[in-house]
């Protein structure tokens, strides 16, 4: 039971993290304009294009392949409902960004700078180097600093919005009733419950916001 609960909770949080990280590299992709313009989902004024969907989907698949040491097959994907889960995470991302904008949740230039200069990718000998930063963006990511920094700001906004929603979450002692074991097991159970509650709170919030928005999904494109 505990193992299943931990796996379920971590699966959705893992998806959320991979989805937002995929937007750090949104400048890297196909030059097929039709592919970029086909819309899988409309959420208010935001959209999820076919290109964005498949890029996120492939990122998630690769992460799971690495986790399962290459054993992720089509049957496993269907059981996990991976396509639907990726799309739902992308929709969640758009809803949270819209809500953040409407609520005045922003990321300051100082916060943005701190996130970038602390990234080990841009460091040499433990310190941030501007020449390495520009070189990595140009050669590895193939994006301009403006594009990359916009994506990082987007990522940080999502994390900040999610943490605001999760901040009221805690585990009631009654939730742990019947759970036996040492302190380590109790802490693991508490953490799993907290992640599950946090995910549920975010999903509930997203659903409540979605009801007030124009919402359309075209599953035929990704079927």
69-93 pLDDT per residue, tens: 878 888 888 888 889 989 988 999 8
Q: Residue 159 phi/psi, 5° resolution?
A: -65, -40
Give me the helix-helix angle, 82-103 and 2-22, nearest 10°: 60
pLDDT, one tens digit per residue, over 143-191 is 899 989 998 999 899 999 988 888 866 656 555 555 666 677 777 777 7
Q: What is the DSSP letter of 138?
A: I
Answer with the residue of higher pLDDT: 123 or 7.
123
pTM of the model: 0.76
User: What's the pLDDT score for residue 113?
Assistant: 96
Which residues does 103 contact at the CB level (< 8 Å), separation at least 6? Answer: 161
Mean pLDDT is lowest, of 11-15, 105-109, 180-184, for: 11-15
Among 5-19, 80-94, 105-119, 123-137, where is mean pLDDT lowest? 5-19
- The average pLDDT across 94-114 equals 95
Mean pLDDT of the chain: 81
Among 62-66, 130-134, 206-210, name the one with the lowest average pLDDT.
62-66
Beta strands in the chain (DSSP E): 39-43, 46-49, 123-124, 127-128, 215-217
Task: Quote the pLDDT of residue 1.
Answer: 39
* Range with lowest mean pLDDT among 15-29, 39-53, 119-133, 136-150: 15-29
- pLDDT for position 141: 83
CB-count burial class (<10 Å; 0-12, 13-18, 19+) for 149 = middle
Average confidence (pLDDT) over 91-106: 93
- Location of structure tokens 């992460």: 63
Strands 46-49 and 215-217: unpaired
| Alpha helices (runs of H) in 68-121, residue ranges in sequence order | 74-80, 82-103, 109-117
Q: 90: closest CA among 47, 150, 137, 130? A: 47
């Amino acid at each position: 039971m505990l193992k299943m609960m931990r796996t379920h909770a971590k699966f959705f949080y893992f998806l959320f993290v991979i989805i937002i990280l995929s937007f750090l590299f949104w400048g890297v992709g196909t030059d097929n304009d039709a592919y970029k313009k086909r819309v899988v989902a409309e959420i208010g004024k935001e959209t999820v294009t076919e290109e964005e969907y498949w890029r996120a989907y492939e990122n998630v698949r690769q992460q799971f392949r690495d986790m399962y040491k290459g054993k992720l097959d089509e049957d496993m994907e269907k059981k996990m409902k991976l396509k639907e889960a990726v799309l739902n995470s992308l929709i969640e991302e758009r809803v949270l960004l819209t809500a953040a904008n409407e609520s005045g949740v922003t990321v300051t230039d100082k916060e943005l700078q701190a996130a970038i200069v602390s990234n080990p990718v841009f460091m040499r000998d433990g310190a941030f180097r501007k020449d390495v930063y520009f070189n990595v963006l140009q050669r590895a990511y193939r994006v301009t600093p403006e594009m990359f920094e916009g994506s990082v700001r987007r990522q940080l906004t999502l994390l900040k919005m999610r943490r605001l929603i999760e901040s009221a979450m805690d585990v009631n002692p009654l939730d742990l009733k019947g759970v036996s074991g040492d302190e380590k097991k109790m802490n693991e159970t508490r953490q799993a419950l907290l992640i599950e509650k946090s995910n549920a709170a975010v999903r509930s919030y997203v659903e409540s916001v979605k009801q007030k928005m124009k919402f359309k999904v075209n599953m035929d494109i990704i079927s």
